[in-house]
Chains A and B, each alone.
Chain A
C-alpha cells in the first residue's frame, strides 16, 4: 500500500483540481443512485452493475488518462463513461435503450462505447476486454514513437478477472511485445459472492504480474489523489518506455453485485466497513476540513449533480426508441449480397 501522505507531497493538487474531482465523484454517485431507481421502475432492462463505492477509483483513473489515450473496461462502466466525458444524457439514454444512447441503444448498461472519447467499450464477458485492449496497445506501436506525449491504453477489470486465462495470456503478450498498456484491477474483495481469498492463488493481485515481469502497485482505491498519481506514473511509464503495468486499487462495493442482488451473503461487519470507507462523503468532508471546499459550494455541487442527472433522465425519457426497421442497420460494416435480413417467421427465400 502506497503511503497517502507521501503521495500528497508528490502531487500537491490545487484546490480547483480537488473540487473538480469531487464534482465528478458526486455526479457518478447521483447517477448510479438514480440508475438504481430507474431499474426498479423498469426504465432500465437487463443487467445493471453500479460503481457505487468506486467513485474515487473511477475519477482518479479517468483524470490520469489523457484524451489521446484509449480505455477498455468491464461491465461496471457507467462512471467511466461519465468521467471520460460522454454526456450524462447519452449514458442514461443507453441505459434506457434509446437511439440517442452512446451505443445507440444496442449495448445497454454493460456496453458503453464512444469513439470520440476513446472509450472502446464496456465489456460484459469477464476478461473479454483484455485481449482487445492488449491489441489496441499493439496497434499504437505501429503508429507512433514512445515518449511523454505518446498514446497509451488503460484496461480496467475486476478482481475476479485475474483468475481467467485471458488475463494471463494478455499480460504475457504485453510483456513480450513491450506494449504501452496499464491494466487496472478494481479489487472490491468480491467476485459476485466469492471472496478474493477463495478465488485467487495469489490474493495480493498486483503481484500476479510477476510471472510476466510486469511491475505492480497496490493503492487505496478510496483515495482519489493516490489513484490519480499512481495511474499517472504507470501511464507515463507506458508512454515513455512502452512497458505494461498492473495497478491494483483496493475498493469497496457499497451494494450487491448488480442492482438485483441484495447481497445477503455479506456480513454486517463487512457492509459496515464498506459504508464507513465510502469515498464520496469522506472526500467531501476532507475537502471541507482542509478548507478547500466551502459547505455552500459543496451543496451547490450536490444540487448541480442532481439537476444534471434529472436532466439526463428527462432526455432519456424524451428520446425516441429505436424502431424495428433499423434492426439490421449495423449487421455488417461492409455490406455484401445475401446478408440475412428476415424477421422471425418470414421466409428466407421466395418460391417463384
Chain B
C-alpha cells in the first residue's frame, strides 16, 4: 500500500475515534505521541489497534505492542509498511 495512503487511513481512524469522544484530532502531527495528547482514552487506543490489525491484515504480538512501535501515526504507518 502507498505510504501516504497508509498514513491517511490511520489518521482518519484516529480522527473518527477522537470525534466520537468529542475531540478534534485534525491538528495531530504524524510524530505526536498519541497517548500523550489525551485525544484517545485507553479503550479507544485498543480500538485503534484492533482496527489497525483488521485494516492491514496484521496480528500484533503483545510484546511488540509498545509506545516505541505504535505511539504515533508515523510509527504505526512504518510498522504496517514493514509487515504487510
Q: Do A and B come from one complex?
A: no
Instruction: Give the interface of A toward B (CB within 8 A).
Output: none
Instruction: Give the interface of B toward A (CB within 8 A).
Output: none
